[in-house]
Structure 1
């Protein structure tokens, strides 16, 4: 099997779990280079993980042996990088969100579609064992038609997190808790419960944080299936708690808290599954296993080899970002 040759763009906070995952996949992936804006951080990252440093992004794009680029830069840089990579015929695996606005997000997806390259998005939580188990349960119809689907995410980020330049701003991140933290759980919600037909929402920046965007959001939803829904998301809940996804169906209720899944059936059965890995819900954002990143990367490389769509596509990410836009009511404000 020919190895997939990947170049990494960006060596910041999000890069470490990808690096650990890629090194575990070295029998099927070659990291051919890393590029970044900070020479010191780039050198340290490449040295720590044993990756070569590429001369520039242009050099990566001009290298005909490179199959794909893994883009791990801040959200407001995504569109231009994706457009250039797609024009060069490189497949793209993009850290969430697609970009800071729907307009830019749609352009990124369209650029890959027009160029005929794969676009995968880093919603790694789809690959967590408990989530996969819940997805299989839902797909099999074991829960029956859904009556309710909801997300409750009560995380904590200290003020020092938002004191980092650009954090929680519209110009760099495109938003706050919804775009940066809850987006993963919202992806799971829509993956399992489907499209949302109506939204009634409220957002706020609590006095616990000094930041531009929201650190609190709530919404009442109606899904196209007719099911009711609810979202609560915040980074102001000290010390942070595992996120909760709940599905109520005609045959039972499934409750996923972090990696702990419990399913209560009407006939008295109770199924339970526990994955002890964390999701970074407290003061340490990167306090989680890289295993889900590994499985996402493995799927993306297989999609390239097998000429199929990855499990998480650009269109999937657009659906979630469109829901976030409806909750925050910021349409057209970040062109």
Structure 2
């Protein structure tokens, strides 16, 4: 098996689960350099995980050993990193979202497509065992044609979370609860139920947070299949609760709460599966296992090795980001 060699850009909050996962994949993936704007953060991160420090992003792009870059920088910077990597013919694995706006997100996807390099996006929840079990039930037709699919995400973030410089601003993050937290559940929603034909939505910033963007969003959806849908998302629900995804089909209903999946079939039998891993729904945003990150990274490395698209692509990320844009702008018409 050819070992895939990657460089990491960014050593902030999102980097730890990736680092833990990469060290477990040492037989398949090698980290050849880490770069960051903060020298102190870089040295602490690299030292903790045993990674070599890179001279600069330009330097790692010029390194012929590097097959791919893992971009873990703030959202507003994603396009710049992706375009540089694509120009250097390096594959890209990008932390969500693609960037802070649809035009920039589309440019990122197109840059990789034009360069002929793979673009994967970090929607690691697709790799959680309970989610994969739910996807199997839906995509195999076990539940029958879908009548409804919805997301209910009642998470909590204290004000100290939003007091971090520029967090929750449009200029840095592109939005609030939808772009930063609910994007994972929305990705699963449209992965399972398909694209959305119409949206009626409302967003707000509650009295519990001082922040620029929304910490509350609600939407009624109609999917292209004709199924109804619903989205509720907030980071103002103390102390935070596991997110709920519900799918109603002709033959039964599936309910996924955190890692606990229950399927109720109309013929009377049930299916239950429990994955004990959490999703960071409370005051500690990184309170979750890195196992799903490991499986996503493993798939991305295999995609490079096998010359195929990864399981989560840039086009997948565009679909969910378009839905978020429609919810935040309260756009009701066809997608």
Q: Same fold (TM over 0.5)?
A: yes
Cα displacement string for residues 140-175 of structure 1 (whole angstroms, at most 9, x for unaligned residues): 100000000000000000000000001100000000
Quick one: distance in 2 between partners of 1:69 and 1:216?
A: 34
In structure 2, C-alpha distance between the alignment counterparts of 1:105 and 1:218, rounded to whole Å: 23
Q: Distance in 2 between matches of 1:271 and 1:211?
A: 42
What is the rounded CA distance, in whole Å, between the counterparts of 1:195 and 1:288 in structure 2? Answer: 29
Quick check: 1:88 aligned with 2:88? yes
| Matched residue, 2:185 | 185
Cα pair 2:21 2:294 within 8 Å, conserved: yes
Return the TM-score normalized by structure 2: 0.98
Q: Which runs of 5+ in 1 are unaligned?
A: none
Instruction: Return the alpha-carbon distance in structure 2 between the equivalents of residues 27 and 61 of structure 1.
Output: 23
TM-score, normalization by structure 1: 0.98
3-state SS, counterpart of residue 94 of structure 1: strand
| Cα distance in 1 for residues equivalent to 2:241 and 2:56 | 41
| Residue 256 of structure 1: how far off its partner (Å) | 0.2
Match of 1:8 in 2: 8
Corresponding position of 2:217 = 217
Q: CA deviation at 1:128?
A: 0.1
Alignment correspondent of 2:35 = 35
Cα distance in structure 2, aligned partners of 1:54 and 1:144: 51
Report the alpha carbon displacement of residue 64 of structure 1 after superposing the two structures with TM. 1.2
The answer for the alignment partner of 1:256 in structure 2 is: 256
> Distance between the aligned counterparts of 2:14 and 2:252, measured in 1?
37
Q: Which runs of 5+ in 2 are unaligned?
A: none
Match of 1:265 in 2: 265
* Structure 2: distance between partners of 1:279 and 1:299: 21
Report the CA distance between 1:330 and its aligned residue.
Answer: 8.1
Residue 24 of structure 2 aligns with which residue? 24
1:65 to partner: Cα distance: 1.2
Q: Residues 17 and 289 of structure 2 are in contact (CA less than 8 Å); yes or no, is this contact kept in structure 1? A: yes
Structure 1: 4+ residue segments shifted above 3 A: none
C-alpha distance in 2 between matches for 1:65 and 1:16: 23
SS in 2 for 1:138: helix
User: 2:97 is paired with a residue of what secondary structure?
Assistant: coil
Per-residue CA deviations over 1:35-76 (Å, capped at 9, x if unaligned) read: 000000100000000000000001101011100000000000
Determine the C-alpha separation between the residues in 1 that align with 2:198 and 2:2.
47
1:178-217: CA deviation from partner (whole Å, max 9, x where unpaired):
0000000000000000000000000000000000000000
What residue in structure 2 maps to residue 100 of structure 1? 100
1:285 paired with 2:288, answer: no
Instruction: Give, in whole Å, the separation in 1 of the partners of 2:112 and 2:244.
Output: 33
**Within 5 Å, which residues of 2 pair with 1:1-335?**
1-329=1-329
Against the structure 1 CA distance between its residues 247 and 117, is the aligned structure 2 distance closer, same or farther, given a 3 Å change threshold? same
Q: CA RMSD in A?
A: 0.7
Contact preservation (8 Å) 2:247, 2:254:
yes
Helix, strand or coil for the counterpart of 2:2? Answer: coil
